[in-house]
Structure 1
Amino acid sequence: MYKVLLVEDERIIREGLKTLIEKVTTGFCVAAEAEDGKEALLYLRTDMPDLIVTDIRMREVDGLAMIGKIREMYEELPIVIISGYGDFQYAQKALKHKVTDYLLKPIDRIELVGTLEKIRQSLERKKQSVAAEQSENQKEERHIIRKVKNYIQDHTDGDLRLQTLADFVHLNPIYLSQLFKTETGENVSDYVTRTRMKRAKQLLRETSLKIYDISRLVGYQSPKHFMIVFKKEVGMTPGGYRDGASEEQDL
């Protein structure tokens, strides 16, 4: 259901409009009511409706003044003016504020239904467009993360600092870090370490390279630092891991 903010200073008319909107039209509910423009603007500070239906002549802040302020905040928010004044000058001023429609009292039910149906269709198209854009953004974000992962896997011996990875995909480092965490549930640094340890275990199993050579091949210039990280991540020293792998092959 699309939320309507109904602005009308006469209670009986406001109740009648609410009944019309909710009983006669499709897809709308009156989420909030206001007696004048001032009250409506206060509501808009804390919540945003999908549509505003408002009278023109009201106390405190009238409809046109309110619409002018609303347009400063929400340029595309649909607004329908309902008024007992057939004054063409008012209509002209309303159109300058890009109101969706201008209806005269007493309300013609068919006209109201037609106006709100057009607005509903427009809101549906906008929702679909936003959903499609979000889907495309998600696809692009997943593509970026796959690209970063592939880069890490192909460059375990290189510079895999966050700044380097961010430069590779042309993103802000902080944004990349947040995006990677959101998409994978893992920090970039943890993924880099895990990938390097996976490569190190492979080299320990499949080659006879010295520990200090393997440390360089997985991005650690200090063999001592490599051994500390390896033991922390794997639970044993590189030498112990190699001995265990060798014993398994002999069985």
Structure 2
Amino acid sequence: MYKVLLVEDERMIREGLKTLIEKGTSGFAVMAEAENGKEALHYLRTEMPDLIVTDIRMREVDGLALIGKIREMYEELPIVIISGYGDFHYAQKALKYKVSDYLLKPIDRLELVSTLAKIRQVLDRKKNVREEESSVDGSHREERQIIRKVKAFIHDHLDGDLRLQTLAESVHLNPIYLSQLFKTETGENVSDYITQVRMKRAKQLLHETSLKVYDIARLVGYQSSKHFMLVFKKEVGMTPGSYRDLAGSEDL
């Protein structure tokens, strides 16, 4: 399943686009949403989607400025522009950044399906090439070693600074390259892996100690216990307190 970052400042339009992408097409899922270009750039500094679908006119950082920044980070990342303005001047500027397509609102479902089908073919070809290259003995030894080092650093510094910049410095790599490498080698984003490790450690501490929830939050890298509890409930399906009660009852 290819992951999509959806950037649109109108909530109802964004929800409609998400439904079209996930139910009207095959092989794509909206992994994240942003209301404007500024939010999208913040997300892209630590994550790498497979496709970006963005409006062209938004507050703070508009679509064209966003695309320019994206191209500085990810040269070949597919981008689909969506706009309510049939302004060829904007289309020309968008094409300069090598966008995959330029669609006008209201979105024609068949046109969107056709566009995403073409993009999926390109992504499938690139994925097959990566898989073939990775099957060659020894071809990715160094990359795998780097990822092992990054994972070890994460496990050893759960209560510390695990920003992408910090992880990249630990293995002397560019942050954007490390993000791409980690996803290529593991199939998941760095932040998702960090969250999984932190939640696993949190569950262990809840089960094996009587520490307060706010102490456990700090030990696994969350300065805000409220944020920790929100993430824990989202990832585990229950609050830390409920998990502790359940784990304790299973020991009886």
TM range (shorter): 0.5 to 0.7
Map 1:210-229 → 2, pairs under 5 A: none
Q: Does 1:57 align with 2:52?
A: no
Q: Amino acid of the residue matched to residue 10 of structure 2?
A: E
Q: Deviations over 1:99-146 (max 9, x none)?
A: 0000000000000000001111110100001111122353797xxxxx
Map 1:179-198 → 2, pairs under 5 A: none
Alignment-derived partner of residue 15 in structure 1: 15
C-alpha separation between the residues in 1 aligned to 2:100 and 2:6? Answer: 15
Cα 1:26–1:64 change in 2 (3 A) is same
C-alpha separation between the residues in 2 aligned to 1:128 and 1:117? Answer: 16
- The percentage of aligned residue pairs carrying the same residue is 79
Query: What's the offset of the Cα at 1:48?
Result: 0.7
C-alpha separation between the residues in 2 aligned to 1:10 and 1:140? Answer: 43
C-alpha separation between the residues in 1 aligned to 2:2 and 2:140? Answer: 30
Structure ranking higher on relative contact order (CA contacts 8 Å, 6+ apart) = 2
Residue 138 of structure 1 aligns to a residue whose secondary structure is coil
Alignment-derived partner of residue 116 in structure 1: 116
Q: Amino acid of the residue matched to residue 44 of structure 1?
A: L
Q: Amino acid of the residue matched to residue 41 of structure 1?
A: L
Alignment-derived partner of residue 38 in structure 2: 38
Alignment-derived partner of residue 6 in structure 1: 6
C-alpha separation between the residues in 1 aligned to 2:139 and 2:67? Answer: 38
Q: Does 1:24 align with 2:24?
A: yes
Q: Amino acid of the residue matched to residue 81 of structure 2?
A: I
Cα 1:139–1:43 change in 2 (3 A) is closer
Q: Amino acid of the residue matched to residue 75 of structure 2?
A: E
Alignment-derived partner of residue 129 in structure 1: 129
C-alpha separation between the residues in 1 aligned to 2:136 and 2:29? Answer: 31
Q: Deviations over 1:176-207 (max 9, x none)?
A: xxxxxxxxxxxxxxxxxxxxxxxxxxxxxxxx
Q: Amino acid of the residue matched to residue 27 of structure 2?
A: G
Alignment-derived partner of residue 85 in structure 1: 85
* Structure 2 unaligned residues grouped into runs of 5+: 142-252
Aligned residues: 141
Query: What's the offset of the Cα at 1:58?
Result: 0.1
Cα 1:140–1:82 change in 2 (3 A) is closer
Contact kept in structure 1, 2:9 and 2:35, CA below 8 Å: yes
* Structure 1 unaligned residues grouped into runs of 5+: 142-251
Larger radius of gyration: 1
Misfit runs of 4+, over 2 Å: 136-141
Most deviating of 79-88 and 128-137: 128-137
Q: Amino acid of the residue matched to residue 90 of structure 1?
A: Y
TM-score (norm 1): 0.55
Alignment-derived partner of residue 175 in structure 1: none
TM-score (norm 2): 0.55
Supply the RMSD in Å over aligned alpha carbons. 1.3
Q: Does 1:48 align with 2:61?
A: no
Alignment-derived partner of residue 185 in structure 2: none
Q: Amino acid of the residue matched to residue 110 of structure 1?
A: L
Cα 1:130–1:84 change in 2 (3 A) is same
C-alpha separation between the residues in 2 aligned to 1:121 and 1:73? Answer: 23
C-alpha separation between the residues in 2 aligned to 1:76 and 1:36? Answer: 21
Alignment-derived partner of residue 105 in structure 2: 105
Q: Amino acid of the residue matched to residue 119 of structure 1?
A: I
Alignment-derived partner of residue 228 in structure 1: none
Residue 21 of structure 2 aligns to a residue whose secondary structure is helix
Contact kept in structure 1, 2:38 and 2:60, CA below 8 Å: yes
C-alpha separation between the residues in 2 aligned to 1:118 and 1:43? Answer: 25
